[in-house]
Amino acid sequence: MKTLIYSTHRFEKPFLERAAKNKHELVFSELPLQVNSVHLANGFEAIALFSSDNANEEVLELLQKIGVKFVALRSVGHDHVDLIKAKQLNIKVANVPAYSPYAIAEHTVALLLALNRNILLSQELIKKNDFRLDKLVGFDLHGKTIGIVGTGKIGASFAKIMHGFGCKLIGSDILENEELKSQTKIIYTSLETLCKTSDVISVSCPLNSETKYLFDKKVFSKMKRGVVFINTARGGIVNTLDLLDALDEGIVASAGLDVYENERSLFFHDHSISKINDELFEKLRSHSKVLITGHQAFLTNEALQGIADTTIENLTDWMKSGVSKNDIY
């Protein structure tokens, strides 16, 4: 199947080529999908999208007019695609429902440990030959209460790691993970109770109409004072301005973020020779209690191979029957 890969990054191209094994004709473009780049897909039956692409109603209508029938997502999340419009236009959309949840779970732990043990500040002081420890006091994670919002594959993987640390686990999810309960003794509760009792809160839920700005001023105000807040899910789940206020007020002691609500035009690109015109992001990254990584939690060899394999499987299924087991409408 002739497929245009939008938003191609050097780190993923070899994995996609290896997975394709000449089964499909892949054409790579570094440009993101948006209105002014739709024309690149002319003559292609399928396209493959990254999480920073934009397949909104207007874009999908243009894609349908030039003959695109299939949209393969190189991600679990699909908030960047108007699925209702895709269905109306009879454009098939499939995602990658699972790929090494350990990658994101382990990155979540890395953010937590770096914040708690003041790793970045420690390095700054050492470079200045200042070996005093006065500003580097953290706390034992053993025995602390870890609140996990969203206990799917990623949240469950994180829960198991923290269970190994000897933490008390509480979860909030519309579906309780019975297997996880038996493995870790996690206790499910309301989001409000989770916020009031957790020493650490980690976000692992998807972004949708129900979770958009789930963490806002009202929810932050209910948190246990001094909580560590980690978000490796989607930026839009958190109201950034309200998070900054919570940090300034001391409600949130520190925040580790791999995602940002306005990241689409920012992350995955080199802005080293250009100015970033995002005042909100500047406030966020300059805050002394915030640690940001640029949506890299998924970035392991195992995860990249899993994403590539499933993307190609979806294309192969469509080529054979027009239906993939990972179709999401």
Q: What is the CATH number of the domain that holds 221?
A: 3.40.50.720
Catalytic (active site) residue 234:
yes
What values do phi and psi take at 169, rounded to 5?
Answer: -110, 135
Q: Tell me which of 74, 78, 80, 295 is the catalytic residue.
A: 295
Q: Return the pLDDT at 222.
A: 98
Considering the domain architecture, whether residues 272 and 192 belong to the same structural domain is answered as: yes
Q: Tell me which of 12, 45, 261, 263 is the catalytic residue.
A: 263
Domain of residue 61: give its range: 2-99+301-321
Domain count across the chain: 2
Q: What is the pTM of this model?
A: 0.91
Considering the domain architecture, whether residues 165 and 53 belong to the same structural domain is answered as: no
**Within a domain: 132:** yes
Q: Which regions in the chain score pLDDT beneath 50?
A: none
Considering the domain architecture, whether residues 184 and 275 belong to the same structural domain is answered as: yes
Q: Return the pLDDT at 306.
A: 96
Q: Return the pLDDT at 274.
A: 87
Considering the domain architecture, whether residues 175 and 261 belong to the same structural domain is answered as: yes
Q: Return the pLDDT at 329.
A: 78
Considering the domain architecture, whether residues 92 and 156 belong to the same structural domain is answered as: no
**Within a domain: 329:** no
**Within a domain: 74:** yes
Q: Tell me which of 74, 234, 261, 313 is the catalytic residue.
A: 234
What would the pLDDT profile of 52-89 be if each residue is shown by its tens digit? 899 999 999 999 999 999 999 999 889 899 999 999 99
Considering the domain architecture, whether residues 143 and 281 belong to the same structural domain is answered as: yes
Catalytic (active site) residue 295:
yes
Considering the domain architecture, whether residues 260 and 277 belong to the same structural domain is answered as: yes
Considering the domain architecture, whether residues 254 and 127 belong to the same structural domain is answered as: yes
Q: Return the pLDDT at 15.
A: 97
Considering the domain architecture, whether residues 275 and 305 belong to the same structural domain is answered as: no
Considering the domain architecture, whether residues 121 and 59 belong to the same structural domain is answered as: no
